Structure 1
C-alpha cells in the first residue's frame, strides 16, 4: 500500500506537494505536461502567489460601426462577460449593438475566487480596460449603457469603480442584466468549474478538484462570517456583492433584465427580488424579458430574434428619454 504523504498544518508548500503526490503522474503525461510545468511543481513563492491570487487573463476590445448614427453618437456600450467567457463569445453581443450604429467596449476577465469573497474587488482586475474606457469617455456628453452577464460582471463592476472612481456611475445611463444579479452561494461550485482552469492553467483534473474542495470550504466559512456580521450591523452591502450592487453601486435607473426560470447558476427568484428592490428602493424604470427554458447566459443563443428586438426597443427608450 502506498504511504500517504504527511501534511504539516499551516504549510501551503507541504499541502501543495502532498496534493501533487496524490495526483497520478499519468494524468500529466496524458495532458502533455511535464512534472516541472505542473502547477504544484512550481516554486513555493510562485505557488503561494497562484493559490492566493490566481491568474486572471483579460481582454479588452473596442468596436466601432462603419456608420455611427447621430442619435447614438453620445451613447457607448460597455459589455462585461461572464466567468469563463471568451472574447469570441462576447463579440456576438457587441455585434448586435454595432448593427444599430453603436460603439462598444467589451471586456472579459475571470475574477479570482479569493476576490469573490468580498464585495469590494481590487482595481487590478479591470485596470487593463482603463485606457480604452477613458478615451471613449473623453467627450463629456458621452453616456454608458452597461451590459452585464452573470455574477462575474458584478464583481468586475466593483473592481471597475475602484479603478476608475465612483464618479463613473454619473456617466451611466442604463443597464442590461443578463442572468444576473443573484445570490448564488449555493451554486458557487459551478462557477469554480468555469474559473479554476483559467486561474490554474497548468493544473491537472485531480489538482483542480482538490483546489475546488478547499476553496468551497473557505467560501462556507466566509458565508457564515458574513451572515453573522450582516445580522449584527444590518448592512450586508458592506460584504456581499448581491447587496452591494443593489444598494451601493448606484446603478442607472433605466434597467432591462433578461433571465430564465431554467437558470441553474443564478436562481430566477433571486434576480426577481433584486429587480423588485430596485423598483421600490430606487424608483428604477424596469423592463423584463423572462424565459422558461433557456440556460444560464444562453438566452441570445436560444432566442436570437427576440433577444435582439428587445435590446433595440430598450435602446430606443433610452434615447427618447
Structure 2
C-alpha cells in the first residue's frame, strides 16, 4: 500500500458539504504539493479552502534532502515518489474523481514535473482526469541566489552557524556547477523541472500566483514560463500579488487568495462538465 511508504495526509469532506457544492457529481480531489521545509500545519490551512468546498484533499511535502540534494545531483528520487502519490488515489478509490493540483514553490513543482510525466506516459495513470493546476510562487530556473535563500530559510536555527555555512557553500557550488556552468551538457542526462515542463506542458489549465516582491523565485521566470505555455496553446492565467514575499500570498491576502483558488476550481469543473456534455451529444448524434 502506498500509504505505508510516504508521509501524507488525506481529508474527506462530510457528505452534506460535497452534495451542496457539487450536487451529485463526483467531488474534486485536490493534491497539494508543499514547498521545501513546509510543515503540514501550514499546508493544512490551504487545504481547508478546498475542504470547505466539499473537496477531498491530499497533502504531501517532499523531504528536504530529496529537493535540495537528490535533484541537485540529478538523482530522480522524486519520480518514484510521484508514482506512490498517484497510487494513493487508487488506495482510497477516488481515481475516477476530477483531480486538481495546488503546487508550492520549486519544491512542489519538482514533484509535479514527475507527476505530469507519469500522467503522459504511464498507461494506468493516463486515465486519471486532471482538470487543472494552480501554481504558487513557482517555477524558477537557474537562480542560485534564490535557492540559497530558500535553503537558508528552511534550515533556520536548527543547526550550528558553522555547519549552516558549510552546507550553504557546498550547495551553492554544486548548484552553480551542475545547473548553470555544466547545464548545457548535464541537461541531456537530467533536465531541470523548469525546462522539462516548459518543453512538454500538460494540456490542462494552469493558474500561476506570484509576486514581484518574491526574493526566492524571480517574477520574470514565472512570466516567461506563462508566455511559453500560451505559445503552446495551454489554457493559462496568472496573477501578481505585487508585494507579498515567497509563498506568503495567502498570509498577506487571505480573502483574495482563497477566492482565486475557489474561482479557478469552479472554472475547471465547469470546463470538465462542458466537455462531458459535448461528448454525450456526439455519441447521441452518431
TM range (shorter): 0.7 to 0.9
Deviations 1:264-289 (A, max 9, x none): 100111101101101112x1112222
Q: Which residue in the other structure is 1:216 paired with?
A: 172
Distance 1:223 1:255 in 2: 26
Q: Which residue in the other structure is 2:245 paired with?
A: 295
Q: Which residue in the other structure is 1:229 paired with?
A: 185
Of the three residues 30, 49, 52, the one matched with 1:77 is: 30
Distance 1:120 1:176 in 2: 26
Distance 1:77 1:187 in 2: 28
Could you say if the C-alpha distance between residues 163 and 115 of structure 1 is closer, same or farther in structure 2, counting changes exceeding 3 Å? farther
CA contact (8 A) 1:119 1:244 kept: no
Shift of 1:229: 2.1
Shift of 1:162: 7.7
Q: Provide the aligned length of Structure 1 versus Structure 2.
A: 255
Secondary structure, aligned partner of 1:192: helix
Tell me if 1:262 matches 2:218: no
CA contact (8 A) 1:146 1:174 kept: yes
RMSD, aligned CA: 2.9
User: TM-score by structure 1 length?
Assistant: 0.70
User: TM-score by structure 2 length?
Assistant: 0.78
Q: Which moved more, 1:220-229 or 1:264-273?
A: 220-229
Distance 2:234 2:225 in 1: 11
CA contact (8 A) 1:110 1:195 kept: no
Unaligned runs of 5+ in 1: 1-56
Tell me if 1:63 matches 2:15: no
Of the three residues 199, 202, 211, the one matched with 1:247 is: 199
CA contact (8 A) 2:226 2:238 kept: no
Shift of 1:313: 1.3
Secondary structure, aligned partner of 1:293: coil
Deviations 1:11-68 (A, max 9, x none): xxxxxxxxxxxxxxxxxxxxxxxxxxxxxxxxxxxxxxxxxxxxxx973100111232
CA contact (8 A) 2:34 2:60 kept: yes
Tell me if 1:178 matches 2:136: yes
Matches within 5 A, 1:52-201: 59-66=7-14, 67-69=17-19, 70-71=22-23, 73-112=26-65, 113-117=68-72, 121-122=76-77, 123-126=79-82, 129=85, 132-136=88-92, 138-139=93-94, 141-160=96-115, 166-167=121-122, 168=125, 171=128, 172-183=130-141, 184-196=143-155
CA contact (8 A) 2:89 2:95 kept: no
Secondary structure, aligned partner of 1:269: helix
Could you say if the C-alpha distance between residues 291 and 165 of structure 1 is closer, same or farther in structure 2, counting changes exceeding 3 Å? closer
CA contact (8 A) 1:105 1:133 kept: no
Unaligned runs of 5+ in 2: 272-286
Matches within 5 A, 1:40-55: none
Could you say if the C-alpha distance between residues 146 and 106 of structure 1 is closer, same or farther in structure 2, counting changes exceeding 3 Å? same
